[in-house]
Structure 1
Amino acid sequence: MKFEDIYRFFDNPPPFYLNKELAVCYVLSILLKGESYGTELIALLERDLPAYRLSDTVLYGALKFLEETGTITGYWKKVEGRGRPRRMYQIEPRFQAQAQELSNFWEKYLSGRWRHQNPEV
């Protein structure tokens, strides 16, 4: 290793992959703004927060968890000019408050305030 390697690393650090807990909070933060689908959720994260990544496996695990708990519902929607329908997701109205609370966790995490308020994490 050389010092140049360290500078190069910080000039272009590798992305941070979200775990399932962060993915759930991220997904809810997006769905609070309106319905979405899997590939769009990944694309939005990469576009808006290029330092973060979300694998298909983690995303679909988070979506499955949210569907199984009744927090979100999914339905198939045929999109013009596309062969296969997309699985669209939306928050169930009775879970709006919890979704907002978990979305706030995501925002706090992004701003770095989470670790300051919860040093044991």
Structure 2
Amino acid sequence: MQLEDIRYFFTNPPPIYLCREQAVCYILSVLIQGESCGTGMIQQLECEYGNYRLSDTILYGALEFLESEGAICGSWRKGKGRGRPRRIYQLNPAWHDEARKLAALWRYFTTQQRQTRLSGEIRSPKRVAQS
């Protein structure tokens, strides 16, 4: 490791992988806008939030949780052409208000992360004068 490696790390940080709680809020923010499949959610995340990543394991665990809570429902649909069927998820209308609240947590989280990055709050600690 060299000092330049440290500088590079902070100017080009590695991707942030979502945990299950963040994934639940992200999924709801997507499904408020309309139905989607798991692969589509991962691609949308990487397009809209370039530094965030979502593993298949976390995504499908969060989807399973939301289905068990009755927040969303999934159905298999055949895609256009010769593609394999995909599970398409939709928000349960009865969950719309709760989904909005949880999606707001996602937006707040990403806004705070972006502001922290842009404002350069990752600064070197102030040197304490020695007596």
Query: TM (normalized to structure 2)?
Result: 0.82
CA drift at 1:61: 0.1
Cα distance in structure 1, aligned partners of 2:5 and 2:84: 45
Q: Does 1:111 align with 2:108?
A: no
Task: Map Cα deviations across residues 73-100 of structure 1 (whole Å, 9 max, x no partner).
Answer: 0011111113311100010010000000
Q: Which amino acid aligns with 1:43?
A: Q
CA drift at 1:50: 1.3
Aligned positions of 1:6-85 closer than 5 A = 6-85=6-85
Q: Does 1:2 align with 2:2?
A: yes
Task: Map Cα deviations across residues 48-74 of structure 1 (whole Å, 9 max, x no partner).
Answer: 111110000000000000001100000
When Rg is computed on C-alpha atoms for both structures, the one with the higher figure is 2
Q: What residue number does 2:94 align with? A: 94
Q: Which amino acid aligns with 2:47?
A: R
User: Quick one: percent identity of the two aligned structures?
Assistant: 53
Segments of 4+ in structure 1 off by > 6 A?
Answer: none
Cα distance in structure 2, aligned partners of 1:82 and 1:46: 26
Q: What residue number does 2:128 align with? A: none
Q: Which moved more, 1:104-113 or 1:69-78?
A: 104-113
3-state DSSP class of the match of 1:32?
helix
Q: Which amino acid aligns with 1:64?
A: E
The count of residues paired between Structure 1 and Structure 2 equals: 113
CA drift at 1:8: 1.6
Cα distance in structure 1, aligned partners of 2:21 and 2:72: 16
Structure 2 residues without counterparts, runs of 5 or longer: 114-131
Taking only aligned residues, the RMSD between alpha carbons, in angstroms, comes to 1.2
Cα distance in structure 2, aligned partners of 1:36 and 1:3: 44
